Amino acid sequence: MNALLQDVLDLIDGPLVQQLAGRLGVSPAQAQANIAQALPGLLHALGQHAGTPAGAEAIRTAVQQLTAGGSGAINVDGLIGQIMASHPGGAAGLADATGVPQSDLAHLLPVLAPSILAALSRQGPQGAGAAPDLAQALGTAAQHAQGAASAGGIGGLFGALLGRL
């Protein structure tokens, strides 16, 4: 499994899944399934956003802010807004691409985005490097996430998340 994807999965632990389950009004198992469905699309959308100099800078800045001051130091909603604005079809397009209802994505993205940023910070300077490197790192993680989801159905990533409750 890709190192960035593994770091993201490591950060999605039981309390986070429980928190998302509560927000979504579903069981922890359903929350895990939604996470497994949404993660490849979110990684892909972040990779696309990082493919532009302004997008890469916004992600690098968010990673630096997260590293310096924790998740409360970043404007997650602003970053998600930028990502959705650059994604074909916006939030509705991401919902269509992932199969996760847009209303559920509204709860998932503010929690998953900081996990991805924290995983990028764990990767060191190369994790939040120049636009092509950052876009490539996120794109590769998205491909691995999609491959894991495809290889075992949604169970591939779901299985990776299962022990985190």
The pTM score is 0.80
Distance (Å, rounded) from C-alpha 24 to C-alpha 35? 11
Report which of 79, 99, 89 is spatially closest to residue 37, judged by C-alpha positions: 99
Using DSSP, state whether 125 is helix, strand or coil.
Answer: coil
Residue 5 structure tokens: 């994807």
pLDDT, tens digit, 9 for 90 and up, residues 124-135? 655 555 555 888
- Average pLDDT score over the chain: 79
pLDDT, tens digit, 9 for 90 and up, residues 87-128? 778 788 888 888 889 899 888 888 888 888 888 888 765 555
The alpha carbon dihedral of 44, 140, 104, 75 has a sign of negative
Using DSSP, state whether 123 is helix, strand or coil.
Answer: coil
Distance (Å, rounded) from C-alpha 122 to C-alpha 117? 9
